[in-house]
Each structure stands twice: as C-alpha cells, then as structure tokens.
Amino acid sequence: MVPGISFIELIFWLPYALVQNPVLTLLGLFVLVAALMALKDFLQRENPIKRNFPLVAMGRYALSNMGAPMRQYLFANDRDERPIPRYIRRWIEASAHNEDATVPFGTQLDLDRPGSVLMRHSAFPRMQYEEPPRVRVGADTPNPYEVARFNVSAMSFGSLGRNAVLSLNKGAAAGGYYHNTGEGGISPYHIQPGGDLVWQLGTAKFGARRKDGSFDPELFKSRASHPNVKMIEVKLSQGAKPGKGGILPKEKITAEIAEIRNVERGHDVISPPRHQEWEDAEGMCRFIAQVQELSGKPVGVKFCLGHPSFLDEICQAFIKTGIYPAYIAVDGAEGGTGAAPLAHTDLLGYPMLDAVMLTENKLIEYGLRDRIKICASGKVFTGGLLAVALAAGADWAASARGFMLSIGCIQALHCNTNFCPSGVATHNKWLQRGVVPDVQGDHAAHYQHAVIKEFAMILAACGKDHPDELTRDDIMKVVDWHRIRPMSELVPYAEEREDLAELRERLAAKAASPTAPAGP
C-alpha cells in the first residue's frame, strides 16, 4: 500500500486513475492481483508446484484447463476424438436441424484397420426402403407394447436438467418412440409432454422406495399405472460403471430432486451396487414376477455383461421358475454416464457388440430367444450403427448421448460438475434457459427419424425386406491387415440344447397356466 493512503482512499481514487491513465491503472491492478494470488499460492501447503513456483504454476494450470477444449476444436482429428468423434457429432447436429448430413469426397476411415466393422451389401438391393416395423414386446401381458427400433436410453432427472427431460419427452411424443426415465424415478417433466416412458428401477428404487431404500410395492403400483408408462426396466448394472450404483453429485441435488427420489440433500447420492430384494437369479425372477403383476406391463432387465457364466445362471433360472423378462437390455462397456470412477469406466464389462452376440447365443441355446427380446445400448448413434447392432442380434437399440447431442450437448465433459454450458446436464437455472423444449424436442424427433431413415436405406442396400432378416453373416470384421471375416464365423450361432427340451416344455406349460406366475 502507498504510504499515507488507506485502502478506502485507494478505492475512492481508482475511477479517477482509470480516467487519467487507464492502461497504466489496469496494468497495475493486474500486477497487484497476480501478486496477491502468487503470495497465496506461495504460502499454501497443498500443492508443491504452486508453493515453489507460484506464477509459473498459475500459467501451467490455466493451460492444463484449456487443453481439452483447445484439442477438441483446434487439434483433434475429426475421427479420433473421444468419447464421440466430431464427425458423428456433426451428423447428429445436422440431422437434428433437418440439414444436409451427407459427406463429401469419400470415407476418412481406414477401412482395413484391424477391428473395423463393415457390412455386406447386396448386388441386388431393394428398389425402395420403408420405415421398419416395430417390435411387439410382452405379447402375453395385459398391456403389450410396440417398440420403435431406436429410442432414448436411460438418463435420469437429476443427471439431466428440467428442460432437457422436457425436450427428450416432447421428442418421444412427436416421434413415436420411448423415453427411458433412468433410475432417478418419474418426474413431472417426464409426464407433461405425453411421450411413452420406460420406467427404470435401479438398485435404489427411486420413485418406488421406502425411507430405508427398500421396494415399496404400493407406491410402485400407483405410479406404474400411469398410462404414459409402457414398460418397466429393472436395472442390474450400467455399462459405464458396472458393479457400482449410480452417482448423483450433491451439487446437482435440488429440493425437487430430493423429494422425487426421497433422499436428503447435502451429500452425493450413490445407489447401492446391487438390489437388496434378492440374492440370486431365482430371486431376481420372483421380483420380475412381482413387478409384472403389480404393473400389468412388460418388464425387462438391463445389465452390462461381466462373466459370461451369468447368462447361464439367469437362463437356468428362467427355465426353472417359469418366469422370464419380456426383454433384456444389453449395455456395452462403452456406454455413457454422468459421473463414474475412472477404473469402472475403463476396465469393466464387455463391449456392446460382443455382449449382444453372447446374450443371443445363450437365449438360443436355452430355447428362449423367441420369448425374450434384446435391446442394444452403447454408442449406437447412426442408422448404420443401428443396422450393425440389429445384425449382431438385437431387436432394437437405445441411445442416451446421441439424443443429448441432438438437443444441444457439445460434449464439454462437465456432466459431473453442474456446469454444463449448453444447459443439458445441469440444474443451474441460468444455464438451463439455453435449452428450449418446444425447439429442442423437435430436434430430438428429427434426429430419431434420420437414424431410422438411414437404417432403412442400409437395410435396402443389403437386399433385406425386414430387420429380422439381418444376421451376423451381414457383418464383416477386419481381424488383421487384409484379412476380413464374417461375424458369423468369428461368433457362430449357438444350437438349442436337446437336453433342455423337457424343461422348455414345462416352461411353456407354466407360462400358459392361468394360476401360475408366468413371465411377462
């Protein structure tokens, strides 16, 4: 401080100094602020670099924080960026705005790179392509549902903000596809636009739980009876963090979310890693039967595949109990999340394509494929990727991040901070104003329509009349340089086990019995 001048006097004379010599005054203020920050860093004890080199450390951390956006917009190749490359984001944005989504001058992919997945087209493609038929799920339940081939995957109100949920459901209502609520329960914003819902029951039973976190059958029944709720999905695990429950950071928990989920504010809400209502696969089947009886609607289960023996375990339980889900949602390890531990994201779980094929093989082996449908989830962003997923064995697919991008997400990677600049994954009211449901809802519907249209074009190019005609033989995988093999050779179809014929007959008889607790 200048001798003889108090801090109050300095503030008083600051406007005068700015008028007399603004450049010098601003420079002086900048130096003063930098000096104070450097002194603070010099005296702190937590960070060695800041303590030893205060000014250099400030520059170092500023550049480090700028690195991700700088690489995204200036340095990263359009095809190399992760988790979703720029060329995919551009296609989604163009499709959502009903703009030209074609690309010039040919592919930029290295098609002969090992690991590349391609499709076999026909020398005699179909002359026309039409919107593919829907999938009937839960045909033997009181309320079967006709599922579109491409839908909104699970994202909760909590992970997403109010306007984002409104936009997604408005798009679902306009486009005629379903919107998965995610494990955060049913909010008013899922209901208001009138779109079809799949209510996901996670390990914490949000929206259908008692104070101790256990399942509340009566509360569930009252909410599942809403006409917008078309199916129930029991979530066992999630692709981005298998073996761990969902995470909602405390910064994103508003009073409204706390009330909907029946939780307390002030700390992170972490769902249990597993359901407390059962201990084994047979117990899971009994819970499926309870949920189906309470709701009268098709019930599915969702998981990220870990050990393939799990598939044997659940298929044996389906046959032994005569209770089975209407569908299985297979979530790939490449799936998205709002917040997850790095190790879970990078190390655990099967990728979607392999998990779908293994799941279908087990259902075929146990004679259950005709009874249980398969939903694929995990980086299915375009019609071409939808075709690959269905050829691998899925009946339909669902995407979360694709629809986020369609309503304005820019992949800023701030989902876990409550500072999503586009307003999609935040509860900051000022940021949420960027998402206008009446506009973004249409964008979501346009994107879904573009995916279905591209899928129909691929179907026609492969010489198919119906999605069910796609098989693994239509997919090729580059296994080495100049070595391409059909997926049907890499992962052959299973054969039904003859030794299970008697058990399958018992399952069919039990399912047909009016007094027995049949599967959905």
Q: What is the DSSP string of 48-104?
A: HHHHH-HHHHHHHHHHHHHHHHHIIIIIS-TTT-SSS-HHHHHHHHHHHTT-----S
Closest CA to 175 of 453, 505, 472, 412: 453
Rounded to 10 degrees, the C-alpha dihedral 151/117/303/222 comes to 10
Distance CA 348, CA 49 (A): 34
User: Can you tell me whether residue 295 is helix, strand or coil?
Assistant: helix
Res 16: pLDDT: 61
Q: Enter the tokens of residue 54.
A: 């205060």
Task: Give, in order, the Cα–Cα distances in Å from 246 to each of 1, 154, 238, 268, 340.
Answer: 52, 12, 8, 10, 8
Residue 87 φ then ψ, to 5°:
-65, -30
104: cis peptide before it, omega within 30°?
Answer: no
CA neighbours within 13 Å on the CB side: how many for 392?
Answer: 29
Predicted local confidence at residue 82, as pLDDT: 82
**CATH architecture under which domain 135-512 falls:** Alpha-Beta Barrel (3.20)
pLDDT tens digits for 93-118? Answer: 999 999 999 888 888 888 989 999 99
Taken as a whole, the chain contains a residue count of 520
Buried b (16+ CB within 10 A) or exposed e, 351-370: bbbbbbbbbbbbbbbbbbbe
Closest by CA position to 416, among listed 242, 75, 160, 109: 160
The whole-angstrom separation of Cα 353 and Cα 351 is 6
Classify 344 as helix, strand or coil: helix
The span from the first CA to the last CA of the chain, in angstroms, equals: 78
Is the distance from CB of 374 to CB of 393 less than 8 angstroms?
Answer: yes
What pLDDT sits at residue 376?
98
pLDDT at 186: 95
Relative to beta strand 299-303, strand 269-270 is unpaired
What are the distances in angstroms from CA 514 to CA 100, 106, 149, 509, 510? 54, 59, 32, 10, 8
Beta-strand pair 475-480/483-486: antiparallel
Packed helices 309-321 and 352-365: angle between N→C axes, nearest 10 degrees: 40
pLDDT attached to residue 28: 77
Judge whether 423 and 497 are in contact, CB under 8 Å. Answer: no
Tell me where in the chain the CATH 3.20.20.70 domain(s) lie: 135-512
Closest CA to 229 of 292, 161, 149, 277: 292
pLDDT of residue 349: 93
Q: Which residues of the chain fall below pLDDT 70?
A: 1-20, 73, 503-504, 506-520
Give kind and range of the element (H or E) at residue 377: strand 373-377
Nearest alpha carbon to residue 391 among 477, 331, 474: 474
CA angle 296/293/399 to nearest 5° reads: 55
- Edge-to-edge strands, sheet with 475-480: 117-119, 475-480, 483-486
Q: What are phi and psi of 519, to 5 degrees?
A: -70, 165
Q: What are phi and psi of 480, to 5 degrees?
A: -165, 170
Looking only at the bridges linking them, the beta strands covering 475-480 and 196-201 are unpaired
What pLDDT, on a 0 to 100 scale, did the predictor assign at position 66? 73
Query: 18 is written with which tokens?
Result: 């700015």
Within 174-326, strands assigned E span 178-180, 196-201, 229-235, 247-248, 269-270, 299-303
DSSP string, 454-512: HHHHHHHHTT-SSGGG--GGGEEEEEETTEEEEHHHHSPPP---GGGHHHHHHHHHHHH
Strand partners, 439: none
Q: Write down the residue that tokens 């044996």 correspond to.
A: 316
Q: What is the pLDDT of residue 48?
A: 86
CA 317 to chain CA centroid, Å, is: 28
Which residues, listed in sequence order, are joined to residue 196 by a DSSP beta bridge? 178
The residue assigned the tokens 């009446």 is 438
Q: Distance of CA 374 to CAs 287, 298, 301, Å?
A: 20, 13, 10
E-strand stretches of 196-268 = 196-201, 229-235, 247-248
For the stretch 479-516, pLDDT in tens is 998 899 999 999 999 999 888 777 667 666 665 664 44
Write the burial class of residue 286 (CB in 10 Å: 0-12 exposed, 13-18 middle, 19+ buried): middle
Distance of alpha carbon 206 from alpha carbon 203, whole angstroms:
8
